[in-house]
Structure 1
Amino acid sequence: MATHTTRMLIIGSGPAGLSAAIYAARAGMEPIVVQGLQPGGQLTITTDVENYPGFRDVIQGPWLMEEMQAQAEHVGTRMMWDTITSVDLENGTPFKAYGDSGDVYEGATLVIATGAQARWLGVEGEQEFSGKGVSACATCDGFFYRGKKVVVIGGGNTAVEEALYLTNHSDDVTLIHRRDSLRAEKILQDRLFASPAISTHWNKTVMRFVGEESGGLTGVLLKDTQTGEESVLATDGAFVAIGHSPATELFKDQLDLDEGGYILVQPGTPMTPIPGVFACGDVIDHTYRQAVTAAGTGCMAALDAERFLATLDFARSESRSVQTVSA
């Protein structure tokens, strides 16, 4: 057991956490990043990345995260291989986080960058064809299906938005929903039903993703929820759009969360109601969920944390000066 102390403690090592670390390290704050169960975040299970600025050719998600980590370490970040099991935010700075290893991490400021995970169906072939026809992000991967047949699975806002987005690349988009009506907002439904590129399969559940591992996805096995009849729908790509689960279990009793479990922050900032605690990346974002937006909010969190500490340091310095004069 050991206690690690830093000016900025960062929980999470995806684009948000590592961007915060880079900015903090360059400001001389010697940040600590506790990497968690999935070091590097969701990009480590993503293959082709074509929409992160600065690379003219397609790059690999794991490689991008390796480079981000190397950059963070190069400028002075300490990376810790540990998983946080509990935190203490109620007693103010320094904030404490307790690792599965038994180590304790203390930060004058805390940046929460624990991210979110896409919800999956959990059916056969889903993981086998991940990156080979099965995806959970149309914005990330839709371009690779230009001119091809694609399906979207779900019935909420996420699914409808994904289907509408995919019409930018395909004129053959099918929405598959297990019920006979959608849960999405009416304005989104109106846009969906008005699109000639989108068709809808009602009362259908996906039983299995079909294809050959060497050649990728070729279709989805569907089951009618009313008749029990099974059929295979041919497709080149399948987008699972049944929502995301933010990794906020650690904070549910200490920070305000919205109905989806995302951390609530002051609009346009990464600031939580607790001074000195900041949240960034997908843990606060149920709209965009992109690596570049996560990195941007990570930068914001580090800059705001630096300002917070500067203000705190100045106030302490003024207080000491007053005490000296009084003495």
Structure 2
Amino acid sequence: MTNIVSTRVAILGSGPAGLSAAIYAARAGLAPVVIQGIQPGGQLTTTTDVENYPGFRDVIQGPWLMEEMQAQAEHVGTKMVWDYIVDVDLSRRPFRLQGDSGTVYSCDTLVIATGAQAKWLGLPSEEMMKGKGASACATCDGFFYRGKKVAVIGGGNTAVEEALYLTNHSHDVTLIHRRDTLRAERILQDRLFAHPNVKVIWNHEVAEFVGGGQPEALVGLDLRDTRTGAITRIDVDGAFVAIGHKPATELFQGKIKLDEDGYIEVVTGTTRTNVEGVFACGDVMDKVYRQAVTAAGTGCMAALDVERFLAAQEYEALAAE
């Protein structure tokens, strides 16, 4: 027999957004079920030093923060489930979610907090240098490179914005782009080209992240000329890959309204989607800020939106009797 789990609130994802939604929903007496997905704890579980989450004067560890958030969610009444959703039916309420385990989750409301992943170049040396000088978030990690040489890889809005942000910390910022023109908006390009601390290397791509020292850390990048194939090396202490993000929304294509980049669209100022009873929070709907604290904030919003939605449904049901 199929195992069916019924709940008033199902939350997909267990990063800062999903767990914050769970904490608020549980405190409202809604007994939420969090389905953790393939990466319990979200992106922060792959982050070591966290220095910008409010409430901690000293550096904390990303995995520890997520463990504490999960413990808090469970303490106030959240049920955590280790499963991965492979199909959803949002055509009617209660919604039905099919788990990889074979369990079916039936829910009156659904909070989608599946997040987004930064796109990486896919180089083995890049993987080796993650957390040792290779990063995909200047806002998160730029502070650690004060007064050091840094490089940004990419040519779109994200890359230019990250390069400009890094000038707050570094006097030597290099933007590396594989073409001879940028895809970023003109106003961003103008700001970039006018900044005295930024230089651009055109028609080059990263061939290898170069490590050195004890303990090993990034010391340089080997660059390949996209026209001639020639390899040159530049010295850098930090390299920020800024070639975009991919929201985890494959499951919802054709079932919920997504924007042109695949992010879930929500009603401005809320977490409501175009499907009544379905809410979205965190990086799956936020392509601008993408910070743990903003994800947590929208998770709070989602829980409050859920609570109000369910209260309105109950009121209407009573009024109809």
> What is the TM-score when the length of structure 1 is the normalising length?
0.97
Letter in 2 for 1:190: D
Letter in 2 for 1:202: W
Tell me the equivalent position of 1:104: 104
Secondary structure of 2:126's counterpart equals coil
Q: Distance in 1 between matches of 2:216 and 2:99?
A: 42
Contact 1:150 1:238 in 2 (8 A): yes
One-letter code of the match for 1:75? V
Partner of 2:67: 66
Match of 2:283 in 1: 282
- Which residue of structure 2 lines up, in the alignment, with residue 15 of structure 1? 16
Q: Deviations over 1:83-103 (max 9, x none)?
A: 000101012x21111100000
One-letter amino acid of the counterpart of residue 264, structure 1: E
Q: What's the counterpart of residue 247 of structure 1?
A: 248
Partner of 1:113: 113
Distance in 1, Cα, partners of 2:281 & 2:182: 31
Letter in 1 for 2:199: S
- SS of 2:127's equivalent? coil
Secondary structure of 2:128's partner?
coil
Aligned match of 2:206 = 206
* Conserved 8 A contact 1:124-1:207: no
Following the alignment from structure 2 to structure 1, what is the Cα–Cα distance between the partners of residues 237 and 144? 10
List aligned pairs for 1:184-195, cutoff 5 A: 184-195=184-195
- Give the Cα separation in 2 of the matches to 1:229 and 1:143: 33
State the secondary structure of the residue aligned to 1:226: coil
Aligned match of 2:263: 262
Deviations for 1:262-292, whole angstroms, at most 9, x for unmatched residues? 0011111110011110000000011100000
2:69 match: secondary structure: helix
The one-letter amino acid of 1:87's match is: V
Q: Deviations over 1:4-34 (max 9, x none)?
A: 1111100000000000000000000000000
Distance 1:68 1:133 in 2: 27
In the alignment of these two chains, the number of paired residues is 319
1:237 and 2:215 aligned = no
CA RMSD of aligned residues (A): 0.8
Give the superposition deviation at 1:249.
0.3
The one-letter amino acid of 2:166's match is L
- Residue 309 of structure 1 corresponds to 310
CA-CA distance at 1:317 after TM superposition? 1.2
- Percent sequence identity is 69
Query: 1:198 is aligned with what amino acid?
Result: V
Which amino acid is 2:164 matched to? L
- Residue 183 of structure 2 corresponds to 183
Cα distance in structure 2, aligned partners of 1:265 and 1:96: 21
Aligned-pair CA distance for 1:2 = 1.1
Question: Residue deviations 1:281-304, cap 9 Å, x none?
Answer: 000011100000000000000000
SS in 1 for 2:208: strand
CA distance in 2, matches of 1:133, 1:229: 24
TM alignment of 1:53-92, pairs within 5 A? 53-91=54-92
Residue 217 (structure 1) aligned with residue 218 (structure 2): yes
Gaps of 5+ in 2: none
Contact kept? 1:14, 1:39, Cα under 8 Å: yes
Residue 306 of structure 2: SS of its match in structure 1? helix
CA–CA separation in structure 2 for the residues paired with 1:112 and 1:54: 26
Q: Which amino acid aligns with 2:120?
A: W
8 Å contact 1:10–1:21 — kept in the other structure? yes
- Is the partner of 2:68 in helix, strand or coil? helix
How far is 1:227 from its partner?
A: 1.4
Query: Helix, strand or coil for the counterpart of 1:147?
Result: coil
Counterpart-to-counterpart distance in 2, 1:177 and 1:94: 48
Query: Which amino acid counterpart does residue 309 of structure 2 have in structure 1?
Result: F
Q: Deviations over 1:163-218 (max 9, x none)?
A: 00000000100000000000000000000000001000000010110013732000
The letter of the residue matching 1:84 is I
**SS at 2:124 equivalent:** coil
Aligned partners of 1:125, 1:172: CA distance in 2, in Å? 23
